[in-house]
Amino acid sequence: MDQVKELYADSIEFGYAGKSRLLTGIYLTCQTGDIIGLLGRNGAGKSTLLKILFGSIKAQHSHMLINGRKSVKPYLSGKVGYLPQDSFLPTSEKVSKLITLMIEDQANRHTLACDAKIKPLIDKKVYQLSGGERRYLEICLLMYQPTDFLLLDEPFTGLEPIAVQRISNLISIFAKTKGFIITDHSYGDVLAIATQILLLQNGSCHRIKQPEELVRVYLPERADDQ
């Protein structure tokens, strides 16, 4: 039987210098097969939490285990990938070159190069791609990494519905072998694919068991209710 792969984070505390604590005692676990939707208002600390889980920001206090092993900078373990809010690809490079740079396995490289959406872009430079194409390429490049967990920061923001659908399908396919933590303000798209919903509020994570709870604690009140 395969060993359960788990990203475990506990007691994460973080605050920017001179400001009050942003995250206070965050606890979360993510296993392969999980798609965790992390929701919260602007400035709640969603992106900061993902960066801490990835290891690019150091928390004042944290206890993180990747597959049972303690990890201070999880990205160095090669088990965690991270999609930042802004595009991380160098704009002057060709798509084909980036695939060669980023994907180690030749079979995976070939699979990605033959992807119906990537194939027409292969000779284009990154700056020539639309926002949706660029986001799709970035997510594909991360999907084909040999990681167990992917942290996606606003993968759907600013994308047309067809691009959102394409990315959602991709996440659902790879969720068989990876665990996902997704944060996005387009909560409908997150709810559609998430297996768990966490709400980041007042520095801590609350599990949302029923989507209806979101109406009470996250969504704005409707004008006709007032």
Partner 1 sequence: MRYKLYLYYFKSTLLVNLFISFLFSALVPLRPSYHPVPFFVSFSFFFITLGYGMTLLAFHYFGKRTRYLYFNRQISLVRLYGYGFIANIALVLLLHIILKMAWTK
Name the residues that contact partner 1, by CB under 8 A: 54-56, 73, 75-78, 81-82, 84, 86-90, 100-102, 104, 141-142, 145
Indicate the SS3 state at residue 31: strand
CB of 149 to partner 1, least distance (A): 12
CB of 94 to partner 1, least distance (A): 12
Give strand pairing partners of 83: 152
DSSP letter at 125 equals B
Give the Cα separation of 78 and 115 in Å (integer).
24
CB of 106 to partner 1, least distance (A): 10
Entry field: residues in the chain: 226
Give the residue among 23, 24, 26 at the shortest CA–CA distance from 36: 26
CB-wise, 141 or 182, nearer to partner 1? 141
CB-wise, 90 or 188, nearer to partner 1? 90
CB-wise, 102 or 112, nearer to partner 1? 102
> For the chain, how big is the Rg over CA atoms in Å?
18
Strand ranges across the sheet with 204-208:
80-83, 149-153, 179-183, 35-40, 196-201, 204-208
CB-wise, 77 or 196, nearer to partner 1? 77
CB of 10 to partner 1, least distance (A): 23
CB of 76 to partner 1, least distance (A): 5
CB-wise, 58 or 207, nearer to partner 1? 58
